[in-house]
Amino acid sequence: IGAEGQFMAGAIVAGSVGTWSHWPTIVHLPLVLVLAAIAGAALAWIPAWLRVSRGALEVISTIMLNFVMLYVLSWLVHGPLQESSGAQPIGNPVASSVVLPRLFGGGTTLHAGLAIALLLVLIAHVLLERTETGFRIRMVGASPRACEWAGVPVARTVMRAAAISGGLAGLAGAIEVLGVLGRLFDKVSPGYGFTAIAVALLARLRPLALIPAALLFGALEAGGSRLQQDADVSQVLVLVIQGVVILATLVVGLAARGRE
């Protein structure tokens, strides 16, 4: 649930550090992406620490942090990070050294962020399915009490998993600014962090399955906007379809688990 705030944290870093000029791309772009990932990971680490040390429900703390980041972002684009002219509540354009290049010769809006996302999906698959860390994360997610009895460091595993997921959300925010928007906006995210939860549920928490799930939701979002423009069909219909897809996936999963 905290992915929305972590997304905004990464976007803020990209919209601020990304405006630095006279930096070579080979240094500037990796620096922005790394700092955005660190910002997202740090924000995710807070509710994870509160959970393991104080027993605070992460659902509540992450929702609260989402609102904190929303107001921090609004304050920044109306104040310290506002464009030089001060005419609109937006940030200055990012430097050309960090703009993600378009794929296929610029004939489409696809940019290098797609390649980064696919690479991260493969890394996540290897991490979760082929490493001891990934095995611990999956086991703690399935049964933390049993893992405690087995001597697995549950607290450390929870915080590590939160930092990884927060870092990925922060990277997503940076990629949105560097590849699509080109600058920081007050409404930098139309709810991508919450959509990510739906995509993960549809993929049943399997990294490789995220690819078709994300493509489906992306097609629904794009198609909904086009339907609203061309056929005067409410975009709420897209939300209904997304909800039906998620519910159907959950029902199928529960039925399969019941047969087992």
Q: Looking at residue 138, what is its pLDDT?
A: 92
Q: Looking at residue 78, what is its pLDDT?
A: 92
Q: Looking at residue 106, what is its pLDDT?
A: 62
Interatomic CA distance for residues 112 and 115, integer angstroms? 5
Q: Looking at residue 174, what is its pLDDT?
A: 97
Give the DSSP letter string of 185-220. Answer: BTT--SSHHHHHHHHHHHTTT-GGGHHHHHHHHHHH
List, for residues 179-230, the tens digit of each pLDDT value: 999 999 988 988 888 889 888 888 888 999 999 999 988 888 777 777 777 7
Q: Looking at residue 19, what is its pLDDT?
A: 93
Q: Looking at residue 257, what is its pLDDT?
A: 64
* Structure letter (DSSP) for residue 178: I
Q: Looking at residue 89, what is its pLDDT?
A: 87
Q: Looking at residue 221, what is its pLDDT?
A: 79
Q: What is the pLDDT along the chain (260 residues), one digit of tens a residue?
A: 899 999 999 999 999 999 998 899 999 999 999 999 999 999 999 999 999 998 888 999 999 999 999 999 999 999 999 988 877 889 999 999 999 998 877 667 789 999 999 999 999 999 999 999 999 999 998 888 888 898 889 999 999 999 999 999 999 999 999 999 999 998 898 888 888 988 888 888 899 999 999 998 888 877 777 777 777 777 777 778 777 877 887 787 777 666 65
What percentage of the chain reaches a pLDDT higher than 70?
Answer: 96
Give the DSSP letter string of the chain. Answer: -THHHHHHHHHHHHHHHTT--S--HHHHHHHHHHHHHHHHHHHHHHHHHHHHHH---HHHHHHHHHHHHHHHHHHHHTTTTB-TT-SSSBBPPPPGGGPPPBSGGGTSS-BTHHHHHHHHHHHHHHHHHHSHHHHHHHHHHH-HHHHHHTT--HHHHHHHHHHHHHHHHHHHHHHHIIIIISS-BTT--SSHHHHHHHHHHHTTT-GGGHHHHHHHHHHHHHHHHHHHHHT---THHHHHHHHHHHHHHHHHHHHHHHH-
Supply φ then ψ for residue 154, to 5 degrees.
-60, -45
List, for residues 81-98, the tens digit of each pLDDT value: 998 887 788 999 999 999
